[in-house]
Amino acid sequence: MPVDNNLNLDTVKSHSPEHDRDCSSPKMPRCRSGASMSSSPPLKPSDISTASLFTPRAFPPPSLTGVPVEYIIDQLHTFAPHYWNKPDTADCTIVIPVPHPRGRAGSSFSGDMPAFSMSSGSEKGRRVTEPALNSVPRISLKLHMDYLSAHSTFLRGLFSGASSLDLISSAALSEAPSRPSTSGQFAVPENRLPRLMPCDPSHPVVFLPVPDPSSMHLLVHWMYFGSTSYIENSLNEGQVEWEGIARNVEYLGLPADIKVFLGRWYARWLHTEQGASDGEEGEEDDFEDDETETVYYSDDEDASEPSTAPARVDLAAALAEPHSASSADDNEKRGRPRSARPLSTCSSQSV
């Protein structure tokens, strides 16, 4: 069916749930990051409501009152190939600062991933008085509000007109690296505050300092297609860290299904690490007992034994572990493979 250049959720009314869907895994196009941001200074928290010209937009829209949100999200996933990598049809821009980029811009992305190019404010001719926001490398993403609002409670509230200061104490920022003040509110540094910037009334520009910029493109792809395959592959290959993705999920207020996926992956990781450690110790003991004895193991017998890996893991509890974010050995971080041993043998699948 033909698709308009602009995303319109009203089309889900006339679209049958039994509409044929292309079940093939979508290939990751090279997503262009869009134009560089202007040198407009970031808004002060007290100026957000008055200086921004953005017209609030509720999700779901009033025209879809009574339509299950699950069905709306399913239809968004169906139409995702028509809007993915289409910055000319985007209706919002997300600006993500990257205070500590890893090596060359875009070098952490594999060939089939969206290489979001980064712009830097360190060019020659930058004014001394230019705001710090423009002196930090940043990623500029032109996306579609409906996909972001359908999955992120934080962005949904921001796009619907809520103040970022009102949202700052919600669960979306409960995992941010900040401490509660004596008043009970989170004392988040000003440069960590998400904010709406001066923009066109129909095209909001959001400054969004997520905890882990390097994994944000994976979550954006998941919001569009609903598939966790690229997240799983990146974790298995050590391209991103589990803690980084988990903190982004909490920061954005993403739904339970992505948390369940991350919990299961973490449980498999723990089980694999524990099994490998026990196996190495057992091999040393057997070698000391009898150097001439060879023991053969049946694959069928191993497959018949029930797995001891937990089915689910609490993300908050896992992130609170002492070794979760600052391990003494960087090679043992979740999502970073140790030597040549694979982290997971499970096939990629969608939640």
User: Is 325 among the domain residues?
Assistant: no
Which of 82, 116, 125, 136 is CA-nearest to residue 216?
A: 116
User: Is 6 among the domain residues?
Assistant: no
What are 2-19's pLDDT values in tens digits? 445 566 666 555 554 444
What are 184-223's pLDDT values in tens digits? 444 455 666 788 888 788 899 999 999 999 999 999 999 9
Q: What is the pLDDT of residue 339?
A: 40
What are 41-62's pLDDT values in tens digits? 444 443 444 345 678 888 888 8
What are 71-130's pLDDT values in tens digits? 999 999 999 999 999 999 999 999 999 887 664 434 444 434 443 545 554 444 444 444
The pTM assigned to this predicted structure is: 0.64
Q: What is the pLDDT of residue 89?
A: 93
Prior bond of 60 cis (ω within 30°) = yes
Share of the chain above pLDDT 90, in %: 30
User: Is 121 among the domain residues?
Assistant: yes
Q: What is the pLDDT of residue 275?
A: 64
User: Is 237 among the domain residues?
Assistant: no
User: Is 194 among the domain residues?
Assistant: yes
**Distance between CA atoms of 108 and 182, rounded to whole angstroms?**
40
User: Is 13 among the domain residues?
Assistant: no
Cα–Cα distances (Å) from 118 to 63, 137, 246, in that order, read 38, 6, 23
What are 213-261's pLDDT values in tens digits? 999 999 999 999 999 999 999 999 999 999 999 999 999 999 999 999 9
Domain that holds residue 68: 28-102+109-229+247-261
The arithmetic mean of pLDDT across residues 148-172, rounded, is 77
Q: What is the pLDDT of residue 297?
A: 36
3-state helix vs strand vs coil in the chain, percent to 5: 40, 10, 50
Number of domains in the chain: 1
User: Is 11 among the domain residues?
Assistant: no
- Length of the chain in terms of residues written: 351
User: Is 285 among the domain residues?
Assistant: no
Q: What is the pLDDT of residue 298?
A: 38
| Amino acid residing at 279 | G
Q: What is the pLDDT of residue 123?
A: 42
Q: What is the pLDDT of residue 287?
A: 47
What's the sign of the alpha-carbon dihedral 154, 156, 159, 161? negative
Q: Sorting pLDDT into bands at 50, 70 and 90, what band is 332?
A: low
Kindly tell me if the per-residue pLDDT of 161 is higher than 90: no
* Contact predicate 155/52, CB 8 Å: no
Share of the chain above pLDDT 70, in %: 44
**Distance between CA atoms of 135 and 211, rounded to whole angstroms?**
19
149-181 burial, b at 16+ Cβ within 10 Å, e below that, comes to bbbbbbbbbbbeeeebbebbeeebbebbeeeee
